Copies of this chain bind each other. A is one copy, B any other.
Amino acid sequence: MEGEEFKVAAKEMVDYIVDYLTNIRERRVLPEVEPGYLRPLLPPAAPDTPDQWKDIMTDIERVIMPGITHWQSPNFHAYFPATNSYPATLADILSDSIGCIGFSWISSPACTELEVVMMDWLGQLLGLPQDFLFSPEGTGGGVIQSTASEATLVALLSAQSKKLKELGHTPTTAHPQLVAYTSDQSHSSVERAGMLGGVLTRLVTSDEQFAMRGPALRQAILADIKEGLIPFFVVGTVGTTSACSFDNLREIGELAKKFGLWFHVDAAYAGSAFICEEFRYLMDGLELAHSFNFNPHKWLLVNFDCSAMWFKNSNDVVEAFNVDPLYLKHEKQGQVPDYRHWQIPLGRRFRSLKLWFVMRMYGKQGLQAHIRKQVSLAHQFESHVMEDSRFEIICPVTLGLVCFRLKNEDNTMNEKLLKNINAGGVIHMVPSKIRDVYFLRFVVCSYQTESDDVKTAWKEVKKQADLLHL
C-alpha cells in the first residue's frame, strides 16, 4: 500500500469511524455472540497474496462489529470510562507515522522532552504538589505508563529496591520478610502487583465509608513488625473501583512516614476530576506520597493507553533496575530523563502527543466542563434511584459512579435484575460486592452521554425491575 492508496483508504476509514461514533446509540451495547464466534468467519490462515482493501473494510462490519462491546456508547455504564477523542486519535496517527521508540533521549529527543513538559502541564492542571513536577533543582517528575496496574507494580518494585538498599541487602534478590499494605477495597491489580513482586500484601479492613484509615493500618503494621516482618509499601486509593470510595491519604501518609514505608497513591479513575478545584479535597494529604498515578485514558479523553505517574524522587525508580548496555548509551545521559529506566518495558510509543493535542483542543475549561457534566449526570441517575422506593443508594455519589441495589431483596434477586438488564441489550453495567452485599454499578462513561441517555438507562432498570414483579 503506497501513499496515494493510503490516502483513499484513510478517508474511508475516517468516514467509517465518524459514522460509527455518531450513530453508536443504534448499536446493541453488549454483543450477543457466543465464545468461538469469530474463527469460522475467517480463513484458517493468512492469505498468500494480498487481499483487497475493500474486503477488509467490509469485514469490519461482518467479523468485528458483531463481537464488540461498545465502550464509547452512551449506553455503556460498565467498569469505568475509557474515553477516546478525535484529537487523541489524530495524535496517534502522527505517533504511528513517526514510529520512533523513545527508550532514551537520543532515540528521539522530542519524544522524551514533550513527555516531560506534558507531565508538568498535566500535573499543574491537577494541582499536584510542586515537588512532583520536574524542576532544575528538584528530583520530581512524571512519566506515562501503560496502565495503573503497571504503575502500581513500578512503585512497588522501586519501593522494594529502596528498602533493601536501606537494609544493606542486595536490592535485586528476593526478601521474604517484606510486606505491603493496601485497603480491602483497592483494585485487584494492587494485590496482583504484590504477587508479581513476590511480597506479602495485607488487605487492611476499610471503615464503614469503605475508606482505609490510620488506626487499622497502624494496627496491621505493628502486628507485622512484632512478627519480624518488614513493612515497606502502602497503596492508598482515591476512588476505588467497587464504590469510588476514598482512603484517608493524610492518615496513611503520616504512618508511612513514621514507619518508613513508600506511599503510593492510586487515583486511576478519580484523578481526572482534580482538574476541577472543587474535587481536590479528595486528595488532601497527597503531599505525603512518594508516587501518584491516574489514568487520563479513563476519564480525560485521551485514548488508551496513557497512565500518568509522578515520583517525588525519580532517582528511586531510575536506580532501582538500571541496566545500561553500550547500544543504549548516549552522550547526553544524565542531563535528561531516559524514560526506559522509569518503566518495565524497554520500548515506548510517542504517547505525549495525545496529551498535548487533547489539552490544547479542549483547554482547561473544556476538560473541566466534561468532568462536571459527567458528575452531574451521575447525580441525575442518583435522583432517579432515590425516587423509586424499591431501590437504595449504597454509598455516596461523589463523581461519576452510582452504586445501588434493590433495597428489600437479597443478592440473588439483585443478580437476576442485573442479568436481565444486560440481556436486554439497551444498557450495560457490571456489579460489585462489598462485605457480601451485591450491588449494581452505574457509571457515566461515554463523552456523548446526555441527560436523555441517563433517562433511558433508568427507564430500562425500572422496566426490568417491573418484569420481575418487584
Chain A residues near B (Cβ < 8 Å): 1-7, 9-11, 13-18, 20-22, 30-31, 33-39, 42, 45-51, 53, 55-56, 60, 63-72, 79, 82-90, 92-94, 96-101, 105-111, 113-114, 116-117, 121-122, 124-125, 146-150, 153, 157, 160, 172-176, 178, 187-189, 191-192, 194-200, 241-242, 297, 303-305, 320-321, 323-328, 332, 335-336, 344-347, 349, 353, 356-357, 359-366, 430-433, 438, 441
Q: Which of A83, A114, A332 has the most CB of B within 10 A?
A: A114
Are A345 and B49 in contact (CB-based, < 8 A)?
no
Q: How far is the CA of A50 from the CA of B358 in the complex (A)?
A: 9
A184 to chain B, nearest CB (A): 11
Are B10 and A93 in contact (CB-based, < 8 A)?
yes
Given A67-B110, A113-B36, A345-B146, also A48-B96 (CB < 8 A): no
A323 to chain B, nearest CB (A): 4
A-B pairs, 5 with minimum CB distance = A174-B174, A67-B110, A38-B113, A17-B97, A147-B345
Other than the known A17-B97, A68-B111, A84-B97, what 19 A-B pairs have Cβ atoms closer than 8 Å?
A11-B14, A16-B94, A46-B124, A46-B360, A50-B362, A56-B356, A64-B98, A67-B108, A84-B99, A99-B304, A146-B146, A149-B346, A174-B178, A187-B325, A189-B346, A192-B323, A195-B323, A305-B349, A327-B441
Are B324 and A188 in contact (CB-based, < 8 A)?
yes
Residues of B within 8 A of A174 (CB): 174-176, 178, 198-199
Q: How far is the CA of A364 from the CA of B326 in the complex (A)?
A: 36
Are A90 and B327 in contact (CB-based, < 8 A)?
no
- A149 — nearest CB in chain B belongs to which residue? B346
Partner of A48, one of B175, B297, B363, B430: B363
Q: How far is the CA of A375 from the CA of B160 in the complex (A)?
A: 44
Residues of B within 8 A of A336 (CB): 35-36
Are B14 and A117 in contact (CB-based, < 8 A)?
no
* This protein's copies in its complex: 2
Are B363 and A51 in contact (CB-based, < 8 A)?
yes
Q: How far is the CA of A432 from the CA of B325 in the complex (A)?
A: 8
Are B98 and A160 in contact (CB-based, < 8 A)?
no
Q: How far is the CA of A125 from the CA of B121 in the complex (A)?
A: 45
Residues of B within 8 A of A21 (CB): 3, 97
Q: Which of A5, A66, A149, A160 has the most CB of B within 10 A?
A: A149
Partner of A13, one of B94, B198, B360, B363: B94
- A53 — nearest CB in chain B belongs to which residue? B361
Residues of B within 8 A of A68 (CB): 98, 100, 108-111
Are A89 and B96 in contact (CB-based, < 8 A)?
yes
Are B64 and A110 in contact (CB-based, < 8 A)?
yes
- A191 — nearest CB in chain B belongs to which residue? B323
Residues of B within 8 A of A199 (CB): 173-174
Are A110 and B66 in contact (CB-based, < 8 A)?
yes
Interface pairs (17), CB distance under 8 Å = A3-B18, A16-B94, A20-B98, A33-B109, A35-B332, A38-B109, A46-B124, A46-B359, A60-B94, A66-B110, A72-B98, A147-B345, A147-B346, A148-B346, A173-B176, A174-B175, A195-B321
A328 to chain B, nearest CB (A): 7
Residues of B within 8 A of A37 (CB): 109, 113
Q: How far is the CA of A10 from the CA of B117 in the complex (A)?
A: 25
A159 to chain B, nearest CB (A): 13
